[in-house]
Amino acid sequence: MRSGYQPIQSPRFQRNLQHSGYKYREYAPSESLASHVACYWTMDFHAGDGNQVHRILPDGCVDIIIDLRSPSCRKAAFVAGLMAQYEVMTLTEAQSSFGIRFFIESAQTVLKFPVSAFIGSPIFLEDIWGEEGLFIVEEILAADTASEIVEIVERRLNLLFSCNVVSSSSLLHASMQYMYAFKGSISPSELAEKLSFSERHLRRIFDRELGMSPKEMLGIVRFQSMLQELHSGVHSSFTDIAMKYGYYDQSHFIKSFKRYYGLLPKQLGKIDG
């Protein structure tokens, strides 16, 4: 288990700022999949209440996303790769999506390719899983509820992980466990020393496997760990929590927050967008 690392997306902070026709929900995976899947999620938007901003934060995870309104199984499911900074979508038409959020060190077992292959344009699930992918998507599109979809997905994932050893490199896996344990508050050189490899070799592995440097991933894990604690309500001020996570300079903290969230910390209570 990954020392409690549980990434957070912006709707969990800004529930009161959402239109009545917009709903984002997360569902916990079963115990057998908890070390591989961060969560399942749904996002629904019903047009008629105005536009809605949907803000996506970098979380060190990879998602398989299914468009539940798609008229075609072939184009309904795709892989969304790693993000280095926030993105904002303005929803103007009715949408309904289901997502599977994988921890990065387990993603390659599911995707059959290094995560670095999914940087840029989304790749359709059919191109990865072939006819089997189409069959699963067809099942999902025929389901009536989110709980039914979760059951379909968990059957497939339990079979997949029981038949395959997690295929990311052991060095990447060990690196991520240290990042989670230290909540991102460790330097790349310190990480390399703990792993008994050179920092250069570590960068090469991360570039090959993830298309992202150890420093970039550490920044994301640290920011997400801070958000998780902020969401728990333990700290009463941004200053306290920023200091705890090593943001000793206010300008550094604000710059990091804007890069990953797209807002200033004090704007979390204001209307998004």
Residue 16 has pLDDT above 70, yes or no: no
Question: What is the pLDDT of the chain when averaged over all its residues?
Answer: 89
Residue 51 has pLDDT above 60, yes or no: yes
Residue 122 has pLDDT above 50, yes or no: yes
Q: Tens digits of per-residue pLDDT, 54-85?
A: 899 999 999 999 999 999 898 999 999 999 99
Cα–Cα distance between 225 and 220 in angstroms, integer? Answer: 8
The reported pLDDT for the residue numbered 18 is: 63
Q: Tens digits of per-residue pLDDT, 131-149?
A: 989 999 999 999 999 999 9
Report strand pairing: 37-45 vs 52-56: unpaired
Q: How many CB atoms lie within 10 A of CB 236?
A: 8
Whole-prediction pTM value?
A: 0.91
The reported pLDDT for the residue numbered 273 is: 40
Domains and CATH numbers, the chain: 10-163 (no CATH), 170-269 (1.10.10.60)
The reported pLDDT for the residue numbered 272 is: 43
239 neighbors 233 (Cβ within 8 angstroms):
no
> For 220-239, what is the mean pLDDT?
83
Q: Residue 77 pairs with which residues in a beta bridge?
A: 66
Angle at 53 between CA 247 and CA 183, to 5 degrees: 25
160 neighbors 109 (Cβ within 8 angstroms):
yes
The reported pLDDT for the residue numbered 240 is: 81
Greater pLDDT, 231 or 28? 28
Alpha helices in 112-213 (DSSP H): 126-142, 146-163, 170-181, 188-195, 199-209
Query: Token pair of 199, please?
Result: 């920092």
Report strand pairing: 123-124 vs 52-56: unpaired
Residue 211 has pLDDT above 60, yes or no: yes
Range in 161-175, 209-223, 250-264 with the lowest mean pLDDT: 161-175
The reported pLDDT for the residue numbered 3 is: 61
* Best CA proximity match to 43, nearest among 5, 105, 106, 95: 95
Q: Residue 87 pairs with which residues in a beta bridge?
A: 56
Secondary structure, 3-state, 177-206: HHHHHCCCCCCHHHHHHHHCCCHHHHHHHH
